[in-house]
Amino acid sequence: MKKILYAKPSITQLEIDYVSDAVTHGWGEQCYDYLIRFKTLIRQHLGVAHAFPTSSCTGALHMGMAALGVGPGDEVIVPDATWIASVAPVTYLGAKPVFVDVDAKTWCIDSEKIAAAITPNTKAVIIVHLYGASVDMDAVRAVTEAHQIPIIEDAAEGIGTLYKGVRAGALGTLGVFSFHGTKTLTTGEGGVLVTNDDSLAEQLVILDNHGRDPKVPRMFWCEQVGFKYRMSNLQAALGCAQIERIDELIQSKREIFHLYQIHSKDVPDIRWNFEAAETVNGYWMPTLILGESHPISRDSLLQALNEKGVSARPFFYPVSSFPTFETCSANTVSFRLGERGLNLPSYFDMTEDDVRYACDVLRESLQP
Ligand SMILES: *Cc1c(COP(=O)(O)O)cnc(C)c1O
């Protein structure tokens, strides 16, 4: 039977060559060569001044929020519809996540609801470019700037995403990305923290290296308690190859999404990822919301798709619905999406036949 995975990295001879070179020669004096190169390539691609490659996006968020001084007693506003990795680092720092509902079209944080969630304890707002859709930045900034609250962009799913010509990750005070094996650009596991803020970057240089200040030339002397989330040179070698191919990796995501549009045109009452005016959606995952007219439950549809070899996944559950948090049932859009949404496969080597097959299975499964 046909089996279409939901995600799979694209590994060419270039990736193999770079990683082989790194594992063979990337030691001693060359031990950071690929890491330094990856940093430069990321900065150039995103158009940012500073980049700190990390072992994960979760780590990048943890370190970034530490640099902003997030701590016990602080509140951090987060969208309820996201992966838990956007929220977990808030709790690592002893701060409280405040869950805000998302917009029904973009599935990103609802700027109008941010204002109501701000208190004197609000230390930061985390926004998430969900499944590659751009957050409405001007609307969010209008709220945060009035209160001088920094914006942290979780752009883990936002490679290829733009807002008014600026790349996701370069829009906020801090930006973070994930290079997990399922993401558009991968290093196996990995991430990066980026910023255009020079003074934050100065603090991050110290935090990124166990609190050692490069201005204090004393070996093993630590000025602060920092972190050790740095990406390895081996992973960076893989990352260098991937970022040299970034245009085709992004292009393929957009093409696959458009093929889904073509081949599912006649499927009634489903709603796909949204691309707002003046934005580019990176379409990390083709995602659809089942309309009310379909009697089938989302989970039954997932089962039907998977039984036919189409690896579909559920839309993220609202993070506030997890047992460790207080459920915010007022976030009705996030709850609805978590109940009626699903992701369909998309990866570089996916063919038009694969997309057509996935759409055929979808159409059949929805037939009453
Ligand atoms: C994948 C993902 C992360 C986490 O990335 P890791 O590299 O696994 O830490 C964070 N936020 C979002 C929105 C993600 O999709």
Q: pLDDT by residue (tens digit) across 53-111?
A: 999 999 999 999 999 999 999 999 999 999 999 999 999 999 999 999 999 999 999 99
Residue 189: pLDDT band (50, 70, 90) is very high
pLDDT score for 214: 94
349 Cα: distance to centroid of ligand 1 (angstroms): 23
**Does residue 8 carry a pLDDT above 80?**
yes
* 287 touches ligand 1 (CB under 6 Å): no
| Tens-place pLDDT, residues 28-45 | 999 999 999 999 999 999
Ligand 1 atom nearest 56 alpha carbon: 7
**Does residue 51 carry a pLDDT above 90?**
yes
* 343 touches ligand 1 (CB under 6 Å): no
* 82 touches ligand 1 (CB under 6 Å): yes
* 281 touches ligand 1 (CB under 6 Å): no
| Tens-place pLDDT, residues 140-160 | 999 999 999 999 999 999 999
Both tokens of residue 29? 């004096």
* 156 touches ligand 1 (CB under 6 Å): yes
Task: Give me the percent of the chain exceeding a pLDDT of 90.
Answer: 99
- Work out whether strand 174-178 and strand 151-154 pair parallel, antiparallel, or are unpaired: parallel
214 Cα: distance to centroid of ligand 1 (angstroms): 30
Query: Which of 184, 153, 175 is closest to 49 using CA atoms?
Result: 175
Which of 57, 154, 157, 192 for a ligand 1 pocket mutation test, highest count of atoms within 8 Å of Cβ?
A: 57
Ligand 1 atom nearest 191 alpha carbon: 7
Q: What is the mean pLDDT of residues 166-193?
A: 98
User: Cα separations (Å) of 209 from 36, 152, 205, 248, 259?
Assistant: 15, 21, 7, 34, 45
Which of 107, 127, 178 for a ligand 1 pocket mutation test, highest count of atoms within 8 Å of Cβ?
A: 178
Query: Which of 196, 237, 206, 283 is closest to 41 using CA atoms?
Result: 237
340 Cα: distance to centroid of ligand 1 (angstroms): 22
Contact yes or no for 204/61 (Cβ under 8 A): no
Task: Give me the percent of the chain exceeding a pLDDT of 70.
Answer: 100
Q: Element (H or E) spanning 339, and its range?
A: helix 332-340
Which of 58, 109, 153 for a ligand 1 pocket mutation test, highest count of atoms within 8 Å of Cβ?
A: 58
pLDDT score for 1: 78
80 Cα: distance to centroid of ligand 1 (angstroms): 15
294 Cα: distance to centroid of ligand 1 (angstroms): 31
- What residue owns the CA closest to ligand 1's atom 10? 85
| Tens-place pLDDT, residues 197-255 | 999 999 999 999 999 999 998 999 999 999 999 999 999 999 999 999 999 999 999 99
What are the residues whose beta carbons fall under 8 Å from the beta carbon of 160, sequence distance 6 or more?
132, 184, 249, 250, 253, 254, 280, 281, 282, 283, 284
Residue recorded with tokens 């650009």: 185
| Tens-place pLDDT, residues 121-131 | 999 999 999 99
pLDDT score for 67: 98
Q: DSSP 3-state assignment of 54? A: strand
Ligand 1 atom nearest 60 alpha carbon: 9
pLDDT score for 368: 77
pLDDT score for 257: 98
24 Cα: distance to centroid of ligand 1 (angstroms): 30
Residue 2: pLDDT band (50, 70, 90) is confident
Ligand 1 atom nearest 180 alpha carbon: 7
Ligand 1 atom nearest 85 alpha carbon: 10
pTM of model > 0.85: yes
pLDDT score for 97: 98
